Amino acid sequence: MIKTSGLAKTFKGGVEAVRSIDLTVEAGEIVGFLGPNGAGKTTTMRMLTTLLRPTAGTATIAGHDLVTDPQGVRRRIGYVSQGGGVGPSAPVGEEIELHARLYGMGAAEARERVAGTLERLGLTALAGRPGGALSGGQRRRFDLAFGLVHRPSLLFLDEPTTGLDPQSRANLWQHIRRLREEDGLTVFLSTHYLDEADTLADRLVVIDHGTVVAEGTPAELKGGAGTLDDAFLAITGRSLREDGEAAEPGSPPGRPHGEPGVPDGRADEVPAAGRTLTRSGAPGGRAAAAGKRGNR
Amino acid sequence: MNAVRDTWLVTRHNVRIALRQKAGIVFGVLQPLLYLALFGPLFATIGTWETLVPGLLAQVGLFSAGLSGIGIVFDARSGVLERLRVTPARRTALLLGRVLGSSLTVLIQSVILIAAGYAFGLRAPLPGVLAGLALMTLLGVGLAALSNAIALVMDPDAFAPIVSTAVIPLVLLSGAFLPMSMAPAWLDVISRLTPFRHVVEAIRDLFAGHYATWTVAAGVAVTAILAVVCVAVGTRVFNRENA
Ligand SMILES: Nc1ncnc2c1ncn2[C@@H]1O[C@H](COP(=O)(O)OP(=O)(O)OP(=O)(O)O)[C@@H](O)[C@H]1O
Ligand SMILES: [Mg+2]
């Protein structure tokens, strides 16, 4: 579904937001995309969704080349951006209907799809309101509706559950799992909630400083000891990410600046196992995830 | 074909939004209406309503279409633009749909202004009025496209003050308020170099019932060229903007 090779983005002014990403996501997989603030997750997603032109590398998304056939890519994907896309003044129901129709649906079909999607996300009663009159979490749920309404075969979610209440979060997880089962939906989602990654994703990809630093099933990353949080901190270090860190050209990728060690005893218990892991079959991780948390 | 459909869908959406902003439409046309009421009677002592109203139309068009790009700034900030860019809709359709939506606002305002002009004593033949409105709408399309392009590349906070200031000399030089035939030679020359002079004079001819004149031909040509160039520039900027 996704295959990238050496994908990179250097912004004007020299910020090397993404240095080189090699990524493979199979059809039907749910892949969690983790990394500290500023690691390059959003930039990678914006490249994969045709919003940013890569400065290097190639990618094939849903069978279409990212650079030569962006139109083909757009037809197959859905995207929920980190910042959302609900306008302040138009009734959201109208916006989502236009959104659906831009995917080629006729008026009746669009209305039906919109109604179904809003229903499943519990938004039907709010559709007449302008975006400005919604709560943050309600707006976030509409963002999800925009991403799902045309039933894409590949869905990009950039921190989809930030700001959602536990009910909506569980509802979204359930929704995503069902779409995967029913339609074989492939999902690529970033999150800072590692419990979410642990529960939902078959496989995790951790990036830092614009490159992939670890990848594997949640169980593999945890290496049998500690939580995913521990593993994450062991992989990416504990230092906070400062503004513009990624901007320094030539800084060594894959390791935070400054003290390389992890100044916390607990981290020692965790083998930095993830680093060396490569892609592996998903079933183990999936089973572990499914076993941990029952459906709501 | 798809592009036409997408343009239509986006236009309709933007028209609905525009029609909901009744305050925006009314206040946009209020300023020229004030000119009509408080300056018109004065002007009527030296000229005709058929001369004044086309000038005020140009004023409405320039301000209204010129500032219409501000909407895209809000859409860019709220993420709406990026959301639409991920759909398969042609990017040209996304831009043109907005532009046509705001041109409709200009058209409504022009109609209000002409209707008010009739109440004051404007007596222009219907074909001339319709032709004048068509010309104004075409001009509005061009200016709105340009305005969107400027709004995308300019610091959003500077956009409204800079554009509304830039529009003032263009309106004055078009002879909207007093015909440039009264101007000193140097001012007349500068005025001829600005596009809107030709548009205003063409509409004045049309309102006077003179259709087959060189002035009309020049106005139509200038408007058409301006519209094509502005839409081309707008499309380029819109397509280039973040890849
Ligand atoms: N338009 C831009 N111009 C210049 N630099 C940018 C731009 N967008 C992002 N960056 C920089 O690129 C780097 C990666 O940003 P990105 O948004 O991809 O991070 P992220 O992993 O999504 O972080 P977060 O978890 O905070 O959302 C950061 O250093 C950021 O400051
Ligand atoms: Mg981000």
Percentage of the residues of chain B whose pLDDT score is greater than 90: 63
State whether residue A140 sits within 8 Å of chain B by CB. no
Q: Which residues of chain A make contact with B83, given a CB cutoff of 8 A? A: 79, 81, 85, 99, 146
Inter-residue contact B71 to B102 (CB < 8 Å): yes
Closest CB to B82: pick one of A75, A78, A85. A85
- Angle in degrees, CA B48, B51, B57, rounded to 5: 130
Q: Of A15, A162, A251, A257, which is best to mutate to test ligand 1, by the most ligand atoms within 8 angstroms of its C-beta?
A: A15
CA A137/CA B145 separation, integer angstroms: 35
Residues pairing with A16 in the sheet: A10
pLDDT score of B24: 78
* Spatial CA neighbour of A101 closest among B179, B97, B24, B182: B97
Distance in angstroms (rounded) separating the CA atoms of residues A284 and A277: 14
Chain A from 172 to 191: CB within 8 A of any B CB: none
Q: Examine the pLDDT at A36 and tell me if it is beyond 90.
A: yes
Q: Which CATH entry fits the domain spanning A2-86+153-165+182-236: 3.40.140.10, 3.40.50.300, 3.40.50.620, 3.40.50.1980?
A: 3.40.50.300
Residue B1, C-beta contacts closer than 8 angstroms, at least 6 positions apart: none
φ, ψ (nearest 5 deg) of residue A113: -65, -45
Instruction: Express each pLDDT in A130-152 by its tens digit.
Output: 999 999 889 999 999 999 999 99
∠ CA B57-B63-B66, rounded to 5°: 120
Cα–Cα distance measured from residue A50 to residue A44, given in angstroms and rounded to the nearest whole number? 10
- For chain A, what is the mean pLDDT? 82
Q: A90, B74: Cβ pair inside 8 Å? A: no
CB-CB: which of A77, A87, A104 is closest to B80? A87
Which residues on A lie below 8 Å from B80 (Cβ)?
85-87, 95
User: What confidence tens digit (pLDDT) does each residue in A77-132 have?
Assistant: 999 999 999 998 899 999 999 999 999 999 999 999 999 999 988 899 999 999 99
Domain boundaries, chain A: 2-86+153-165+182-236
Nearest residue on chain A to B84, alpha-carbon basis: A99
Give me the tens of pLDDT residue by residue for chain B, a chain 243 residues long. Answer: 588 999 999 999 999 988 888 887 888 788 788 889 999 999 889 889 999 999 999 998 998 899 989 889 889 889 999 999 999 998 889 999 999 998 988 898 899 999 999 999 999 999 999 999 999 999 999 999 999 999 988 888 889 899 989 999 999 999 988 888 888 999 999 999 999 999 999 999 999 999 999 999 999 999 999 999 999 999 999 887 554
A84 and B79 in contact by Cβ < 8 A?
yes
Poorest-confidence range of A211-225, A249-263, B221-235? A249-263
Q: Are A232 and A34 in contact (CB under 8 A)?
A: yes
**A102:B243 CB<8 A:** no
Identify the residue whose C-alpha is closest to ligand 1 atom 27: A37
Q: Which of A7, A21, A42, A159 to mutate to test the pocket of ligand 1 (most atoms within 8 A of CB)?
A: A42
Question: Which chain B residues are within 8 Å of A146, Cβ to Cβ?
Answer: 83
* Contact state of B74 with A88 under an 8 Å Cβ cutoff: yes
Residue A259 has pLDDT above 70, yes or no: no
pLDDT number for residue A105? 94
Give the tokens for residue A157: 């979610």
Cα torsion B85, B87, B89, B94 to 10°: value is -30
Q: Reduced to 3 states, what is the DSSP secondary structure of residue A80? A: strand
State the pLDDT at residue B182.
85
Give me ligand 2 centre to Cα B115, in Å.
Answer: 53
Q: Is A131 within 8 Å of chain B by CB?
A: yes
Residue A160 CA to ligand 2 centre (angstroms): 11
User: What span, in angstroms and rounded, lies between the C-alpha atoms of B99 and B191?
Assistant: 27
Record the tokens describing residue B12, joined without a space: 């309709």
pLDDT of A248 reads 45
Predicted confidence (pLDDT) per residue in A189-203, tens digit: 999 999 999 999 999
SS3 (DSSP) at B196: helix
Which residues between 15 and 74 in chain A have a beta carbon less than 8 angstroms from any beta carbon of chain B? 46, 49-53, 71, 74
Cα–Cα distance between B94 and B84 in angstroms, integer?
8
Q: Is A57 strand, coil or helix?
A: strand
Is B194 or A280 the better-scoring residue by pLDDT?
A: B194
Res A61 pLDDT > 90: yes
Owning domain of residue B88: 2-241
Q: What is the whole-number distance in angstroms between the Cα of residue A47 and the centre of ligand 2?
A: 12
Q: Measure the CA–CA gap between A115 and A103, rounded to whole angstroms.
A: 16
Count how many domains chain B has: 1
- Closest partner residue to B9 (CB to CB) among A79, A86, A102 is A102
pLDDT digits (tens, 9 = 90+) for B116-171: 999 999 999 999 999 999 999 999 999 999 999 999 888 888 898 999 899 999 99
Query: Does the pLDDT at position A265 exceed 60?
Result: no
Strand partners of residue A4: A23, A59
**Closest to A81 (Cβ–Cβ): which among B6, B83, B87?**
B83
DSSP B39: I
Confidence (pLDDT) at B28? 76
Contact B87 A51 (CB under 8 A): no
Three-state DSSP class for residue A91: strand
Q: How far apart are CA B195 and CA B186, in angstroms?
A: 16
